[in-house]
Amino acid sequence: MPTGLRALGLKGWRTKLRYAAMTLMACLGLTVATFFILDAVYPPKLDRFNTVSSEVVGADGSLLRLFPVENGRLRRAVTLDQVDPLFVDMLIAYEDKRFHDHTGVDLLAVLRAGWQALAAQEVVSGASTLTMQVARLLEPRPRTLPSKLIEMFRALQLERRHSKQQILEMYLTLAPYGGNVEGIRAASLAYFGHEADRLTPDEAALLVVLPQSPTGLRPDRYPARARAARNKVLARVVGGIGLDAHLAALAARAPVPPMKQQPELSAPHLAARLRADGGAPLKRTHIDAILQKQMEALALASARRLQENASLAILVVENKSRKVISYVGSADFTNTARDGFVDMVTAIRSPGSTLKPFIYGMAFDQGMAHPRTRIMDEPRRFGTYAPNNFMDTFYGEVTISEALRRSLNVPAVAVLDRLGPVHFTETLRHAGARLALPGEEKPGLAVALGGVGMSLEDLVMLYAALADDGQVRPLKLLDAPNQTAPATNTTLLGADARAALRHILTGIGAPGDRLPRKYQQNPRHIAFKTGTSYGFRDAWAVGYDGGYTVGVWIGRPDGTPMPGHFGSNTAAPVLFDAFGYLPQAPVTAPSSGFLTAQALPPGLKYFDRPQLSVLTGKRVAPLTLAFPLADSVVALTGGTTPITFAAQGGELPLQWFMDGKPLPSSRWSRNATLMLEGPGFYRVSVTDRNGHQVSARFSAQDTLR
């Protein structure tokens, strides 16, 4: 061939090569551009990875309860530091040994798998990298060639957007492990009963291979298959990840777990409550996991000794920090006959007599009374309200200390009457207690005996203030370091009042009290108060020592009465048993001179100044008006209407007055009748032999107009 033709031919080939290279570069550029456009338009969908089970954990990080996600799947969030490094090394060595080198798609593995498939006319080995498996787990698709190409594209996207550690965490969160279990942490709990941060070689190998066939290799259903697959992993990785042949042989002889374990169910009411509040899926509480189990066992055992369908709640709080360290919402969460799903820690119930310490405490604070102040316990009317004692027994003149220890009703109502029920309840509300009254009804004197709705949680909150510094602070359910504290704390009772109440409530029960004998000595010096609501619907006991406050409620969630069960014989024993599981706090003597004063001021010797007969010198019942009541309305039926006034107590003879003018009536009768002139406002007064006088202002209205 002539030299010119040869040169022309070479020049033609160079041109073709140049065009081919340019075409190739253009195709590559177009491919890259297309990838970036598609990557921007169709980013990876991470919804499944971001949707994880809500977890509630205790103070030590132990799992209290795990809530499933969609379709009942248990999928726990995973970070790499929560997984045993042996497992991670074994996973990479077995599934994707070039994981740290490729960009999502392992071209060598693709070529190898393709060659093997052509040679054998069937699929011999897969080419999926861990990143491609993550792409499939994020967006499950049928196993077809188009799906595989999409997975490759998604894998390249994931590698561009996320680090290798993040991709591993996605896999460890989403990998299927049989049934409703997804992710390494849920699987480790289900099959081995512990977290994934400490795995033996046999456990790690089983968890590596199980996602390849989550149903067919389940060890609880197909133990032989699971063992063979696990040992295949051990044989392949031995010697390459620091696992020597001896350890691998021992691991290969280990049995596989025979059954799946159920998720933990501890403090279920608290867990459900925190989950309903929303926020982050991980809820860290202050619950002491061991104490919680002890309290749950105590609640169940105690409830089984009671009548059918009875439930029981226990709340334990650390005084200084206000941390809730045990929360038992019912005796048996899964028992529908006991309505175990109802959280009786938050349920609104009648608190019985458990508010009496706060009534007396406020009276101490306001200088109305002293623990040694004497007060009458006798039948008495407060307007239309006539409280009675629990056992229909009255004790006459007692000290306020005795009245509180015996939980006498009339003295408590008398003190509340002077404090004012509205003032008392508003003080509690301002401190943070949630009080429930029917409709728009105003609080009355029945509040002293349980005529208001409260929760066990709020009662314990108030008693924890008594046990500590007097400041009412919300109980801490969550361990939230960044949580802002309340702007202000309310001091409910001063130091003198708290010292007095501790001294009174720590006193040993008087003879004949219904507190079981074995608890009457109170060696721990627990200050406690019991309560029983009207109709035996609620039995309460709330107590505290230097370290802890414990509240106990017993009853039926539907409000059905439990005759014969009251606070001192039913709830108090559970309270003392609960304290038996707590560290004993040192006993501190009252530091206040309030209790040790030798002589009381004259105004504090008696709550009501004693009314003495001028004839006998003995105490007589206080003079009161039975009708009309103060600020009441008297109905007229047209024209002049005879009205009969009535007095109680005092000593005859009596003198009645209407608007300051004496009434013509029998001085030896406690009744007086008067013809009112017509509608209007009037003031009636009565004075007894000893000069004691009471009066009431009322209005008369014509009902016929």
Catalytic machinery residues: 95, 353
Task: Give φ, ψ of 209 to 5 degrees.
Answer: -90, -25
How many other C-beta atoms can be found within 10 angstroms of the C-beta atom of residue 616?
9
Q: Which of 264, 296, 261 is closest to 56 using CA atoms?
A: 264
DSSP 436: B
183 near 172, Cβ under 8 Å?
Answer: yes
* CA 343, chain centre distance (Å): 9
* Per-residue tokens: 342: 């109802």
For residue 103, the 8-state DSSP code is S
Say if CB 71 and CB 53 are below 8 A apart: no
According to DSSP, residue 519 is labeled G
CA separation for the pair 650, 637 (Å, rounded): 32
Q: Which of 136, 159, 137 is nearest to 149 (CA)?
A: 136
CA dist 636 and 183 (Å) reads 81
DSSP 327-369: EE-SS-TT-TTTTTTS-TTT--B--TTTTHHHHHHHHHHTTS-
Structure tokens at 673: 């009748």
**Could you tell me if 107 and 83 are in contact, meaning their C-beta atoms sit under 8 angstroms apart?**
no
Q: Tell me which amino acid residue 161 is.
A: R
> At CB < 8 A and 24+ separation, what contacts does 188-195 make?
189/63, 189/66, 189/261, 189/263, 189/264, 190/74, 190/260, 190/261, 190/263, 191/219, 191/220, 191/257, 191/260, 191/261, 192/257, 193/261, 195/82
